[in-house]
Chains A and B, each alone.
Chain A
């Protein structure tokens, strides 16, 4: 049973680490927009863009 004296404090340290990591992520805008970044990997990398053709005026 004495093992809990080691394991439980260990779990609390891990908990504190998790909370710290989450706070860090929130403060660094990781949770501000949950929709857009999901699509980013789907798009192909920017092709070396052809010279931006100016659109004709309507």
Chain B
């Protein structure tokens, strides 16, 4: 199979396009990719193709960014630095590697009126500084989109700042703790040597004061998060690891100060600095992983639409959401998010309000019902009268909440937290008991022994056991292009023993065979334009295929659009009523049965009959066959449940070696099927495109969405496979299973460690410095063990095309090693 030079996706049959480049003609899959490749080469930037480590996104068809130029929207996103300088930061989809950054910087840098371009791959942001008198923001964003990187407005700017500060603070704290610990250790070595070889008390005191000097910033600055954490835990009356940690740090530090000033027996400045260093190191690793993988906030930023279609006396205009005022009427397409709180004007529709209520099934709403910004319209388009906008909307409140809480903790982590809290209570009790017992036996040893119990018992090993494994797994997956939206779904993925696939848009990618369009009346271009107009704003893969086939030609405006789930769409174009969809919906029912092969086509009809047929060519997604083989090899049942005709589902099922399939299934059937499987005790994973099957995805134990992040996918599934790499599911499953195993090991280790050392410490056999070492070491063991996740599974090759050749044998052996 030939792969496109630019985006590396397979070239659909019948497409013979090539890009003229300095290195010769290269085959490409579509006009967009040809334009992108030629443009890149034309700028002298062909190096991109040698520098990049993963293929580019399929070049997006022309986007319209003119609405970004509107002053109302501009005010929100663009910072004016003067007459001839303005800055804007946008979130960009599809940034994978440093080569992308290089390409964007060069390609946009040569645009007239651009002062500077900064790209941050880690944060997936592009900062543009331009001259508003010489160029327009929309031109620059259009150029960015032509390269294949679709820009999104950054509504979560404030959150971004918080995150940046958090990262920087953590780095600084870590460095101070590291340097402080090294110095304190050095002085401590001198003191230990002094104990054996004899030391002048003056020199000894000098070293102790030095230890105090270097440990003070470590305790007062680096350890701040622990003290604040303990304070927070104290206020909410919920014990976790911060309390004993902060208490131990404070006790060790104060005891050492007293010993230094009064010439006491033992000082622990080295222990306390090391303790802080190890704990901070663990925290920083976890935070990095969270930042890299989580991106919850980004998902929210995308959930909140930035543009809305406002009704004006003569049609609809695209405006920024922030321009809307109460009383405006807006149109919302199927699969899109509602821009503002308001009242549903009509027609009746179903809304996915899972973001608000957690209720995943779409709910029917009648005209006159209140609707909330951010909810997704499942079937539309609908019209809404705006009541509340911007910061007053419920969604804005939720975003604020997310900012505060930094996301909910997965229940596995909550479980571990609860265990850690119980453990902490026991540790405190034990510490008090030890102190009392020793006061009775030998008061001079009471303090060191109690301290040793407090320090050696490691609630952090407990508290870290789960989040370390989870965050590592999420980070590893994010690195391989699998986004875990909801960490709980990882556990579910590991346990899933039955995978159900949707067909169109999931296992296959449809495209319209432009050469074989059958036109009954009018011209091919007209028919395509009407069809594309009807499908405007629809997120079904077939609709996208039609729009792509119609290209960027001027589309007529379709009105009275109405989606009929699983059948098609109807609407009026230029006063004529059209239907577009499956044979039995668009054409008269009896016409549907005259020719079986005809069912492969989308039919466009008006009141007087069929206008055109658009044959659909379906192509298996890269890696689909390999994935199914690998899953079946691991003993997992694979099924296809599709709304498509039986004949076509059978072909795909045979091709993939799946013997259980169900065709012509309506969404209700699919849900019922999932429910039946679950009732039989199966753990079901549903793989879909996340757009048209959102409610069905929600009916499974774990939902995996394939495709390019439509708003709906962000909201409806726990795991996302952007870029459509199906074989990543196998990898994700391996990693999830490994995570569960490692998580168990971590918990067992923490338990075994504490059970074995706490009695020793209570008996007074463990000096506090050894206790601090033991505690840190046990945390480090947990972290290192968690880092093993994703190490044995071979790193994924840069090109997805070569991944598709994974053979099941190899996969099984991988399983065995793991």
Residues of A within 8 A of B552 (CB): 57-58
Residues of A within 8 A of B44 (CB): 46-47, 49-50
* Complex alpha-carbon distance, A26 and B179, angstroms: 16
Interface of A is mostly: loop
A-B contacts at CB below 8 angstroms, number: 103
User: Is the Cβ of A33 less than 8 Å from the Cβ of B38?
Assistant: no
User: Is the Cβ of B164 less than 8 Å from the Cβ of A32?
Assistant: yes
Question: Is A8 an interface residue when CB atoms closer than 8 A count as contact?
Answer: yes
Residues of B within 8 A of A35 (CB): 97-98, 121-122
**Number of chain B residues whose Cβ lies closer than 8 Å to a Cβ of chain A:** 47
Q: Which residues between 87 and 145 of chain B lie within 8 Å of chain A, taking CB atoms?
A: 97-99, 101-102, 106, 109-111, 119-123
User: Is the Cβ of A55 less than 8 Å from the Cβ of B106?
Assistant: no
Residues of B within 8 A of A8 (CB): 210
User: Is the Cβ of B102 less than 8 Å from the Cβ of A53?
Assistant: no
Question: Which residue of the partner chain B has the closest CB to A39?
Answer: B98
Q: Which residues between 707 and 729 of chain B lie within 8 Å of chain A, taking CB atoms?
A: none
Question: Which residue of the partner chain A has the closest CB to B187?
Answer: A8
Residues of A within 8 A of B175 (CB): 19, 22
A29 to chain B, nearest CB (A): 9
User: Looking at the complex, which one of B36, B101, B206, B214 makes contact with A12 (CB distance below 8 Å)?
Assistant: B214
Question: Which residue of the partner chain A has the closest CB to B42?
Answer: A53
B273 to chain A, nearest CB (A): 13
User: Is the Cβ of A1 less than 8 Å from the Cβ of B120?
Assistant: no
Question: Is B32 an interface residue when CB atoms closer than 8 A count as contact?
Answer: yes
Residues of B within 8 A of A50 (CB): 42-44
A50 to chain B, nearest CB (A): 6
Given A1-B203, A8-B210, A32-B167, residue A19 in contact with residue B121 (CB < 8 A): no
Given A49-B110, A50-B42, A58-B552, residue A43 in contact with residue B102 (CB < 8 A): yes
Residues of A within 8 A of B210 (CB): 8, 12
Question: Which residue of the partner chain A has the closest CB to B553?
Answer: A57
* Complex alpha-carbon distance, A31 and B288, angstroms: 13
* Complex alpha-carbon distance, A11 and B102, angstroms: 41
* Complex alpha-carbon distance, A26 and B42, angstroms: 38
Q: Which residues between 622 and 672 of chain B lie within 8 Å of chain A, taking CB atoms?
A: none
User: Is the Cβ of B34 less than 8 Å from the Cβ of A27?
Assistant: no
User: Looking at the complex, which one of B42, B61, B172 makes contact with A22 (CB distance below 8 Å)?
Assistant: B172
Question: Which residue of the partner chain A has the closest CB to B176?
Answer: A19
Residues of B within 8 A of A47 (CB): 44
Residues of A within 8 A of B172 (CB): 22-23, 26
User: Is the Cβ of A52 less than 8 Å from the Cβ of B98?
Assistant: no
Most chain B beta carbons < 10 A, residue from A5, A32, A58: A58
User: Is the Cβ of B109 less than 8 Å from the Cβ of A36?
Assistant: no
Per-position binary interface string of chain A over residues 14-53, scored 1 when its CB falls under 8 Å from any chain B CB and 0 otherwise = 0100110011001100011111101110111011011011
* Complex alpha-carbon distance, A55 and B131, angstroms: 23
Given A32-B167, A43-B102, A58-B551, residue A52 in contact with residue B110 (CB < 8 A): yes
Question: Is B62 an interface residue when CB atoms closer than 8 A count as contact?
Answer: yes
User: Is the Cβ of A52 less than 8 Å from the Cβ of B31?
Assistant: no
Residues of B within 8 A of A58 (CB): 30-32, 34-35, 59, 61-62, 551-552
Question: Which residue of the partner chain A has the closest CB to B169?
Answer: A26
B751 to chain A, nearest CB (A): 37
Residues of A within 8 A of B171 (CB): 26, 31
Question: Which residue of the partner chain B has the closest CB to A58?
Answer: B31
* Complex alpha-carbon distance, A49 and B109, angstroms: 10
User: Is the Cβ of A57 less than 8 Å from the Cβ of B214?
Assistant: no
Question: Which residue of the partner chain B has the closest CB to A11?
Answer: B183
User: Is the Cβ of A56 less than 8 Å from the Cβ of B31?
Assistant: yes
Question: Which residue of the partner chain A has the closest CB to B552?
Answer: A57
Question: Is B51 an interface residue when CB atoms closer than 8 A count as contact?
Answer: yes
Question: Which residue of the partner chain A has the closest CB to B107?
Answer: A52
Question: Is B162 an interface residue when CB atoms closer than 8 A count as contact?
Answer: no
Given A22-B175, A33-B120, A55-B36, residue A39 in contact with residue B164 (CB < 8 A): no
User: Looking at the complex, which one of B31, B32, B109, B168 makes contact with A26 (CB distance below 8 Å)?
Assistant: B168
Question: Which residue of the partner chain A has the closest CB to B213?
Answer: A12
* Complex alpha-carbon distance, A53 and B34, angstroms: 13
B219 to chain A, nearest CB (A): 15
User: Is the Cβ of A57 less than 8 Å from the Cβ of B62?
Assistant: yes
B532 to chain A, nearest CB (A): 14
Question: Is B328 an interface residue when CB atoms closer than 8 A count as contact?
Answer: no
Residues of B within 8 A of A40 (CB): 102
Most chain B beta carbons < 10 A, residue from A5, A11, A52: A52
* Complex alpha-carbon distance, A3 and B493, angstroms: 64
Residues of B within 8 A of A32 (CB): 120, 122-123, 164, 167-168
User: Is the Cβ of B39 less than 8 Å from the Cβ of A36?
Assistant: no
Residues of A within 8 A of B122 (CB): 32-35
* Complex alpha-carbon distance, A11 and B190, angstroms: 15
Question: Is B146 an interface residue when CB atoms closer than 8 A count as contact?
Answer: yes
User: Is the Cβ of A44 less than 8 Å from the Cβ of B42?
Assistant: no
B206 to chain A, nearest CB (A): 8
User: Is the Cβ of A36 less than 8 Å from the Cβ of B101?
Assistant: yes
B220 to chain A, nearest CB (A): 14
* Complex alpha-carbon distance, A18 and B551, angstroms: 59
User: Is the Cβ of A42 less than 8 Å from the Cβ of B51?
Assistant: yes
User: Is the Cβ of B43 less than 8 Å from the Cβ of A49?
Assistant: yes
Residues of B within 8 A of A1 (CB): 203
Per-position binary interface string of chain B over residues 160-185, scored 1 when its CB falls under 8 Å from any chain A CB and 0 otherwise = 00001001100110011001000100
Residues of B within 8 A of A44 (CB): 47
* Complex alpha-carbon distance, A54 and B98, angstroms: 25
Question: Which residue of the partner chain B has the closest CB to A48?
Answer: B44
Question: Which residue of the partner chain B has the closest CB to A23?
Answer: B172
Residues of B within 8 A of A54 (CB): 39
* Complex alpha-carbon distance, A11 and B213, angstroms: 13
Per-position binary interface string of chain B over residues 352-370, scored 1 when its CB falls under 8 Å from any chain A CB and 0 otherwise = 0000000000000000000
Could you give 23 example pairs across A and B, Cβ below 8 Å? A1-B203, A12-B214, A15-B179, A26-B171, A31-B167, A32-B123, A33-B120, A34-B122, A35-B98, A36-B101, A36-B119, A40-B102, A46-B110, A49-B44, A52-B110, A53-B38, A54-B39, A55-B146, A56-B35, A57-B31, A58-B31, A58-B59, A58-B62
Q: List 4 tightest A-B contacts by C-beta distance, closest first.
A: A58-B31, A55-B35, A39-B98, A53-B42
Give me 16 other A-B pairs in contact (C-beta within 8 A), A5-B206, A34-B122 excluded.
Answer: A1-B203, A22-B175, A23-B172, A33-B122, A36-B121, A40-B102, A43-B102, A47-B44, A50-B42, A50-B43, A53-B42, A55-B35, A58-B31, A58-B32, A58-B61, A58-B62
A-side residues, CB < 8 A to B, are 1, 5, 8, 11-12, 15, 18-19, 22-23, 26-27, 31-36, 38-40, 42-44, 46-47, 49-50, 52-58
